Each structure stands twice: as C-alpha cells, then as structure tokens.
Structure 1
Amino acid sequence: MSNFSNLLITYFRDYNIWFLSILIMFGSIGIPTGAFLIVIASGAFAYAGEFNIVVLLLEIWFFSCVSDGISYIMWKTIGHKFLNKSTKIKTYFQPKIIKAQNYLKRHGKGTIFFTRFLISAMGPFVNAAAGITEYKLVTFSLFVCLGDLLWTSMYLGLGYWFGDSWESIVPIVTQIGEFLTCITILLISIYFFVKIIRSNKQKS
C-alpha cells in the first residue's frame, strides 16, 4: 500500500470512527479520500477483535447517510445562490437542470440507490443533481440509506472475511470500481449520443 494509505489507517487507529466520518463527508461531495479503504481495513480490525463489527457497521452506515444528506442540502442551498447570481448563468444552466430534473423523476430512485455502492464514484454527482433540482428529500434519504447500508456491509464484510489478508483485495476492489465507473460513463454517453441523433432526425 502507498504511504498515504498507511497514514489514513494510522489516523483511523488513533481517532477511530470520527476520522472515518470526516473522510466519508468529504467523499460525499466529490473529494476522493479513500474512505472505502478504511472501511475494509476496519472490517479486518474487527476480525482481529479490535472493534465490534455490529457497532462499526451501524456507525459507518449512520455517518454515510448523514454525509449524503448534508451534501444534498449543501448543493440545494449553494446551487440556487449560484444560479441567482447572474441571469446569464441561470439562462445557461436552466435547460440542463430541467433535463436532470426530468431524468431523476423517471430514474431517480434507481440512480440514487446504485450510485451508493455499485458505482459509488458517481454518488457525489447524483447528490449535487438531486440537491440542485430539489428532488424529494424523503425519497432521496430512503434510497440513500438503503444504498449506503449495502456499501457499508459490502466493504466492511470484505475486510472481515479476508481478515489478515485484507490488503490483497484492495487493488481488485479498486479496479472493479474503476471499471464499473468507466462502463457507466460510456453507457451514459451512448444514451445521450443516440438521443441527440434521434432528435436531429425528427427536426429534419
């Protein structure tokens, strides 16, 4: 592992869940912090008897849900202030916001749920879109909690399952995450490309 990863683990051992909660918080707004690595490591530490696995799961799940909720509220507040600063900015972004709003109306639940754990790299962008478009907070919170529970269980479970050899699975987990993110971006690009072609055909 890198020196940065070792430093994160050292801080986690010193400050426990409070340090991890900060990493999760920054991760929810799009800053890569390596929180998943600490969650895997904490599962291994629980295997070694340093933590209670059930308490750890509940704590990580709680802070994940709270972090996503704060991210949503932050984007909801900042987004509107930013848009109302200038008429030009509002005119430029308004059509894009309407498109995002329509997309979330149709696919919001699934998008929020799957970007918590399966393609978690897209999670911060979905938080931002949901906040700016004022997606229903109750629905957002429900599917965030369900998705975050799977995210927590998955990474914590991997660390607990592999125990002392948890470091060997980190590169594999990282590569799978990157692969899924790339596939998602590719599929989204193809979707919008096909949509543009169809709309151009209809106009002609």
Structure 2
Amino acid sequence: MSDIISLDVYYLLYYFFAIFVAFFAVPTGAMIMIVSFASIATGLTDLALLGTLAFVATVSGDYSAYLVAKYFKVRFDGYINRIMWLKSKIHLVSKVFQKYGGYTVFLTRFALSGLGPYVNLFSGLRDLPKKLFLQAVMSGEIIYVSMFIFVGYFFSETWQAVVLIVKDYTMFAVLIGLGIVITTRLTKFLLKERII
C-alpha cells in the first residue's frame, strides 16, 4: 500500500484546506505543502491523488475568493481603502491588469504567484467574466500544481534534506528575530519614558 493513500484522512484534509485558504491571501505555504507531500509519494497513484487534491483546492480557493469579492463588492471596497498594504497590493494588480489584461489571471497562477490572491479579489471587484476567470485559473493552476508535484517527487531526497535544515534553523532565526524586535521596542519605550 502506498504512503499517501495510507495517510490518515485528516492529513489529506489539512493538505486540502491549507492550499485552499492560501488563495485568500492567507500565508499557509501552499507551495511547500505540495512539494513536501509529493516528496513522500511512492508512485503514480499517490501523485495523481495529491495533484487532484491540490488542483481542486487551488481552483476552488481562487474561485471562492473571486465570488466573495464579487458579491460583497461594496463592503470589500471600504475594507480595502482602510488597510494600506492591501490597498497597495490591489493598486499594483490594477497596474498589471492594465498592461496584460486577462492574461494577468493566467500568469499569476504560476509565474507571479505572489499576486494570485490579490488578482482573485481584483477580478471579482472589477467583474471579470466568470468564464474567462475560470479558464485562466484552471489552465494556470494545472501548470502550478504540476510544477510543484514534480519538483517534490523527482527531488524528494534533496527536498527532505532541505526540510530538515529549515526545521533545525527556523526556530533559531525566529528567536533571534524576536529578540531584536523586543530589544528595539523596549529601547524605544525606555527612551520615550526617559529611563535610559
């Protein structure tokens, strides 16, 4: 029996949900999730299952974000105007849309994937036709999912070594970053209160 199919269903639900939520601009590391799960695949059945789950999760996440923005347009516009970083991302997406048009949706699935969630929202806010949006999303997501499934499968030993390195050094980096933030904030506070 293959490793992926024998996994508990909760792992596969987590895999699906983490990828789905990533397309609402929630940083879940969908790409890392796809590559990591593909690195433990033992055959074509596993790859087909992971690829299908990832494809359905990405397309449904993209389409859900599009629908939320489309049907809650008035509330969403007010929300965007209050949050500066979101406003700047949407402004960047509108510039890219002016330059490339509908190809922007396709390109942000794999080439400019960091802008993908914002393009989903922008497409819904600007009433991009549903059929055009879904065609661009599906064709782009096939490339996105295939790319990372194959990277995980063909470079599984290397990828597992990378995961171990990241796991070992991430906590150290987080602690250093946290120490820097606490030190600078404490110093600013003490200077403001004239304690130092």
Select which of 32, 35, 43 maps to 1:37: 32
Structure 1 pair 114/84, CA: closer, same or farther in 2 (3 Å)? closer
Aligned letter for 2:14? F
- Residues 151-197 of structure 1 show CA distances to partners (whole Å, capped at 9, x for unaligned) of 10011100000122213567xxxxxxxxxxxxxxxxxxxxxxxxxxx
Aligned letter for 1:153? S
Aligned letter for 1:129? F
Q: How does 1:169-180 map to 2 (within 5 A)?
A: none
Residue 78 (str. 1) matches residue 72 (str. 2): yes
Unpaired runs of 5+ in structure 1? 1-11, 90-96, 171-204
Residue 133 (str. 1) matches residue 121 (str. 2): no
Residue 165 (str. 1) matches residue 155 (str. 2): no
* Partner-residue secondary structure (3-state), 1:52: helix
Richer in helix (by share): 1
Aligned letter for 2:39? A
Alignment match, 2:53:
59
Contact 1:17 1:60 (C-alpha < 8 Å) held by counterparts: no
- Tell me the CA shift for residue 147 of structure 1: 0.7
Aligned letter for 1:40? V
Contact 2:62 2:120 (C-alpha < 8 Å) held by counterparts: yes
Rounded Cα–Cα distance in structure 1 between residues aligned with 2:122 and 2:77: 14
Contact 2:93 2:118 (C-alpha < 8 Å) held by counterparts: no
TM-score (norm 1): 0.62
Alignment match, 2:186:
none
Rounded Cα–Cα distance in structure 2 between residues aligned with 1:153 and 1:26: 19
Select which of 45, 57, 63 maps to 1:69: 63
Rounded Cα–Cα distance in structure 2 between residues aligned with 1:150 and 1:100: 21
Unpaired runs of 5+ in structure 2? 1-6, 83-89, 164-196
Q: For the aligned residues, what is the CA RMSD?
A: 3.1
Larger Rg: 2
Structure 1 pair 122/168, CA: closer, same or farther in 2 (3 Å)? farther
Aligned letter for 1:167? Q
After TM superposition, where is structure 1 displaced by more than 3 Å over at least 4 residues in a row? 48-51, 81-85, 99-106, 167-170
Rounded Cα–Cα distance in structure 2 between residues aligned with 1:82 and 1:128: 9
> Would you say how many aligned residue pairs link Structure 1 and Structure 2?
150
Instruction: State percent identity of aligned pairs.
Output: 24
Rounded Cα–Cα distance in structure 1 between residues aligned with 2:45 and 2:99: 41
Select which of 8, 21, 27 maps to 1:26: 21
Residue 108 (str. 1) matches residue 101 (str. 2): yes
Rounded Cα–Cα distance in structure 1 between residues aligned with 2:37 and 2:45: 8
Rounded Cα–Cα distance in structure 1 between residues aligned with 2:113 and 2:68: 19
